[in-house]
A and B are shown apart, each in its own frame.
Chain A
C-alpha cells in the first residue's frame, strides 16, 4: 500500500472514530436516562455540547502545559485510532500492533495528567493519583488478556488477529476460544473507561470531579472529544480481540455498540468503590480468571 493511501486512511479512521464515538456518548446518556426513567437527550446533543464548549466566551487556562495536556489527550487518541483496523481500512495497524496500541492509549492519560498537574488544584492532583492507581489496577488483567490473545493467535498484528477469527467464523472467535480471558477483558474494560463502580478518580461529590475540576470551555470540550475516542477505542479493541472484528460496517458497528453498552448499563446501577477496594477487586477476580484462561490457552 502506498504512503498516500495509508495517510488518507490515517486521516479517515479518527474521523470515523469521532462520529461513532459521538453516538456512543449519546447511547450512554440514553441508557442512563432510561434506567432513571427519563427521556434522555436528542440525537445531536453530544455534538451541540462540544460546539458549545469550544465556543465559550470565558476560556480559562492555567499555563501552557494545561493547554498542551489537552492537545496530547486528543492527539494521542487520534493517533491510536489509526492503529485500530476497521472494515476496509487498516491504517498503520501493521506498523505497530497490540503492544504499541496498549501503550499508545496511555499517552492521552499522561497528557491529561500533566495538564491537570499545572492547574495546581489539589483536587485535580488527587484525582490523577487515583486515576493512575486505577490504571495500575486494571492494566494487570488487561496485559494478561493481551498476552493470551497474542499467544493464541500467534501474532500481535491486529490485522492478522482479525483475519484468523474471520476465517473460522464465530466458532473461532476469541470469546468462544478464550471465554475466561474475555471475561477478564470485560472487567478491565470497565476500569479502563473509568465508569462506576471504578469511578473514584472523578468522584464529583468528594473531589469535585477530580481531573476535570479546573477544566472549562475548550479544555472541557477537548476532554469531551477524548471521551468519544475512549469509548470507541475500548469497544473496537474488544471487538477486535474477542468478537472477530468487523466483517462489514454493519456488523462492526453492531458489535461495537453492543460491547460498549455492557459497561454503561453496569455503570448506572452501581455506586463507586473506594480506591483500595477497586485495586483489590481488579487484582483478584479478573486476574484469577485471566491467569486461568491463560493456562487453558497455553496448555
Chain B
C-alpha cells in the first residue's frame, strides 16, 4: 500500500460515509472531518508536489490486455490540493445552518453530501490516471458525478444538467475517437507507446488527434464554442455544490488538456501544425480560442441580472486566462496559467459563498431585488470585496499575480493582440464585479431586508479562510509558485524563476511583498489624513434624498437595472447570441431528424409501408 492508495481508499470511504450518514444532522460535520483527513493524507504526498517524482498506486487492473494504472505526479498533486481544499470548505459551509435550512426547504442534504464526495473521489481517480484507458474511465466518472450534483435541485437545474450531460457525452465521444485513433497508431493505450509513435505521424494525423482530444476536453473546460452549458448548470446547483463546481470542476478539462496536448504531444509539434492559407498555427489557434473564451463570456456576465449566473459566466471567462498562459508556452506564461487555476478556485469559491450567504438570508440572488446589505452583512461584504478584487485581477489579491504573469509573458512573446484581448477581458470583469457588489451590498437597503443578519459562523468561517488565502497568496505568491515550479519541471516546461514575493527576472520583475507593503502603507497614510480631519456625523442608511427631495424608505431609487446603459448603447447590438443560435439550430435539426426516424420505425403510416414493401417484394420476384 502506497500513500496514494491510502488517499484513494480514504476518499472512497468518504463516499461510503456520505451514503450512510449523510442524512443525519451530524453527517455534514463528519464528512468535513473526512475531507480534512483526505487533505492530511494528500499532504503525506507533498514530496511529489514540491520536489517532483511519481508515486504509483499498487492497484492496477487489466481489461482485455490493457493495463490500467494510477499514479500521482506534481501536476496531479497540485490539482488535488485545490479539489480537496474546495470540497473541505464547501462541506464545512453546508454542515451547519445552511444544511439545516436546505433540509427544511425540502432539499436532500444526504444526496448533496454524497454527490460532493463522489465528485472528489472521481476527480482524484482522474487526476491519478496513468494511461488513456484510466483517463477515460476517470473522465466519465467525473462527468456523471458532476451531473448528479447539478441535477439534484430539480426544475431549472435538471434542465441545465441535461444540457450539460449532452455536451459531456459529445465530448466523451470525441475523446473516445481520439483514443481509438491513438490506439490505431500506437497499438496500445499506454502513454509511453503513444509518445514514441508521435514523431512518425503526418500533419493531418496530428491535426486529427489534437482536434479530437482538444474539442473533447474543451467541453468540460467550457472553452468557446462549447461553453453554453456551463453557466446555468453551475449557477442552479445548490450553494456549496456551486462553489465547488465553480472552483475546480471545469478545470478537470484543463488538466486533461495539459496532460494530453502539452505533456504527451507537446507545444512544439502543435506549433508545427499550420493552418493552410492563414498565418495561424496550432499554438496561436489555442491562444485565440483562449482569448475569445475570455472576452465573450466576460461580456455575457456583464449582462446577467442573477448573481449566481454572473459568477458562473466569469468562471468560463477566467478559464481562458489559464489556457492563454499555457498556450504562450514560456516559463512565465505557463506558471501564470497554472497559478490562475489555484487563484480562481480560491476567489471564485469565496464569491459563491458570499452570494449564497445573501441567498440564505434574503432568499434571492436577483441583482435587481437586493441592495444596501453592507450594514446588515458586513463580513459577507468584505469577503465579496476581496473576491471581486481577485476576480478583477487588481493588486493586492492573488488574481492579479497570475494575470500579471500572463500579460508579461504575452509581452515577452510579442503577442500584442492577445495581450489587448486579455486586458479587455479584465476591464469587462471590473465593470461586471462592481455591478455585482453594488447591486447586492451597496446602494439602497430594501425595507424587507431591514432585519437581515450576518450568516452564522459555520458559513462565515470558510468564507473568511478563503478570503485570507486570496490575500496572503496575493502578497506572497511564492507560496503557490513553489509547487507550480515543480509542475513545470514535471511537464518538461521551462521553470519560472520565482521568489516569495513574485518573479525575479531582468527587465521588469515583480515583488508583491513590496507592492502590497507600500499599498497598505499608503492606505495607512490615507487613513491618518482622513481620520485626523473634522469629526464625522453618521447618517442613517435610509435617510436619503435625490433631486432635492427627501426620500422615504419605501421609495425605490436603487440604480441597478441596465447598469451600464451608456456602454450597452454601443456594444449592445454586438450581442448576436450566435452560439445560442447555433445550438438551437443543431437542436432543431436533431429534433427534426429524430422525429423523422421515429415516424419511420413507429410505422405512423402502416398501410403505406405495407404497400411499399409489397410492391418491392413483387418487383424483386418479377426482376429475378
Contacts and interface: CB of A to CB of B under 8 A. Distances in A.
B526 A143 contact: no
A59 B529 CA distance: 14
A179 interface: no
Q: Which of B393, B435, B442, B546 has the most CB of A within 10 A?
A: B442
Interface stretch (B66-74, B124-132, B357-365, B531-539): B531-539
Interface stretch (B10-18, B133-141, B236-244, B512-520): B512-520
A154 B525 CA distance: 35
Given A55-B533, A62-B539, A120-B444, A276 B526 contact: no
Q: Which of B416, B438, B537 has the most CB of A within 10 A?
A: B416
Nearest to A142: B423
A120 B541 contact: yes
A71 B565 contact: no
B533 A95 contact: no
B589 interface: no
A73 B537 contact: no
Contact of B541 (A62, A96, A107): A62
B550 interface: no
A200 B566 CA distance: 10
Contacts of B544: 120-121
B619 to A, nearest CB: 69
Interface in A264-299: 274-276, 278-280, 283, 294, 298
A122 to B, nearest CB: 4
Contacts of B374: 63, 65, 118
Main SS class of interface, A: helix
Contacts of A151: 411, 414, 416
Interface string A110-150: 10011001101111011011101101100110011001101
Interface stretch (B174-182, B400-408, B578-586, B605-613): B400-408
A154 B412 CA distance: 8
A110 B423 CA distance: 17
Given A117-B437, A139-B427, A150-B411, A110 B529 contact: no
Contacts of B508: 97-99, 150, 155-157, 160
B527 interface: yes
Interface stretch (B30-38, B224-232, B277-285, B555-563): B555-563
Contacts of A205: none
B518 A79 contact: yes
A100 B534 contact: no
A178 interface: no
B507 A156 contact: yes
A283 B564 CA distance: 17
A247 to B, nearest CB: 22
Given A140-B420, A147-B411, A151-B411, A61 B566 contact: no
Contacts of B537: 58-61
B530 interface: yes
Contacts of A143: 419-420, 423
Contact of A222 (B438, B529, B557, B558): B529
A102 to B, nearest CB: 9
Main SS class of interface, B: helix
B394 interface: yes
Interface string B215-251: 0000000000000000000000000000000000000
A96 B514 contact: yes
Interface string A183-210: 0000000000000000010000000000
Contacts, number: 251
Contact of A156 (B394, B408, B501, B515): B408
B121 to A, nearest CB: 40
Given A63-B375, A99-B407, A70 B530 contact: yes
A217 B400 CA distance: 34
Interface string B418-461: 01100110011011001101100111110000000000000000
B530 A222 contact: yes
Q: Which of B400, B431, B443 has the most CB of A within 10 A?
A: B443
Contact of B416 (A80, A104, A120, A298): A298
Contacts of A120: 371-372, 442-445, 541, 544, 557-558
Given A73-B526, A78-B525, A129 B539 contact: no
Interface residues of A, number: 87
Interface string A155-196: 111001000000000000000000000000000000000000
Interface in B277-331: none
A89 interface: no
A67 B536 contact: yes
A71 B509 contact: no
B492 interface: no
A132 B443 CA distance: 17
A174 to B, nearest CB: 16
B5 interface: no
A121 B443 CA distance: 7
A40 interface: no
Given A83-B515, A113-B434, A125-B558, 20 more contacts: A59-B536, A62-B541, A71-B527, A75-B527, A80-B522, A92-B511, A92-B515, A95-B510, A100-B515, A113-B438, A120-B557, A122-B546, A129-B563, A133-B564, A135-B427, A136-B424, A136-B430, A156-B508, A157-B508, A160-B507
13 contacts: A60-B539, A67-B530, A71-B530, A74-B526, A95-B515, A100-B404, A113-B434, A140-B424, A143-B423, A157-B508, A217-B534, A276-B566, A283-B570
